[in-house]
Structure 1
Amino acid sequence: MMNLFDYEPDRQKNWLPYDGTVNYYDKLLSQSEADFFLNKLLETIQWENDRAVLFGKEIITKRKVAWYGTEPYQYTYSNTTKHALPWTPELLVLKTLVEKETGETFNSCLLNLYHTGEEGMSWHSDAEADLKKDGAIGSLSFGAERKFAFKHKQSKEKVELLLEHGSLLVMKDATQTFWLHRLPPSKKIATPRVNLTFRTIDE
């Protein structure tokens, strides 16, 4: 008989119906650990406004980003190029934790800071040429709980999850080829969310 109070979320469950793999690891860290890392990341990361070039015009986003890695890797998206900064002690601890949980290895991390729920991310896939094809992306969330959505590029079928403070979401296999994802804005959320996406740059 299953005791509901001992319920462990199924980390092997694939949240996508086909054409890719998404696993949700629920809360990887306790409330106090997650609070500690949220505060450390807000204080120690070299945040800067993201820049994108659309239709020849430079747009500066409200959300902030940072790019870290094992080497000063170049990473190009939205027609802008970043060079990775060396890992901070906290990022190395989190990278090791995500690698241990997933059995994957990562050499870089793109961080996003959403100050309130009004800042989000439109539909896109992480399929830049620099990234390992069909490689895993480990997405750690801190701060405000936010909805996260997937949409199949052909069928338009949608899947939604709620990403909790201290939780891990892993996207791998053909997910980026067949699915878009987004962080929908929400006027109800007034607190920040920090998201770390651990990735593998093809060297």
Structure 2
Amino acid sequence: IGRPPAGSSVSQRDLEEEQAQHGDLALMDCQDGLKKMNFTTHGRQNNGKIWYVFDWAARNVPEADLVLKQDDDMVIDWRIALPRMLGGAIQWQAPLGLQLQRLFVGQLCPWILCHVMGDAVGVAPGSRCGGPIFGFSGDVARWAAANGRPEAGPEDMVGCKWANQFERAMGQVDTSGLLAMQDSVEAWIHPVKSPVVYAKCHGSMVRGSGVRSCWGM
């Protein structure tokens, strides 16, 4: 998490106290973006923070197999999500004792919906891009940290551009782990804006009822 922007209800001191007490935050040297849906400037929620996420992971957990980013209004059942996203890679990489590599995973953002935002940041036309949750195997994430830079724009489209650049430099990326909406049923639910509904969805998942069972509460 970055520094709270001006006007935020959360202070930097609040974050530091949370981290000191629970150790559950990665405090990064950047400012969080304001959550404004601005499709005209394509700035939206990202002012460069996504690069700091991959940079932090590369420096602090360089051995990570996967580095993922998710929107804070998602509820994810990782017991379902990971096998679905990694199904193809596990079939041929894991039996060989290989670390996961060259993977781009998450929720697919269909090009017909994302091409305007993708064009704005220089994504290759027709690319398979991630959406509210996306990430890379460790090798791609470390490459993005080393070769990317902080830049404004929708963070999922910036990540997609890095995948394009990795392919040009290092070879093809496996995008089979970018799941279409129909393939992510019970793996996650998005968006969940109400704290009450979020808690109900999380509780439903923990009880084994599935995250989708809370939709519409």
| TM-score greater than 0.5 by the shorter chain | no
Higher RCO structure, 1 or 2 (CA under 8 Å, sep 6+): 1
Compare the two structures and name the one with the higher strand fraction.
1
What is the TM-score normalised by the length of structure 2? 0.26
Compare the two structures and name the one with the higher helix fraction.
2
- Larger Rg, first or second structure (1 or 2): 2
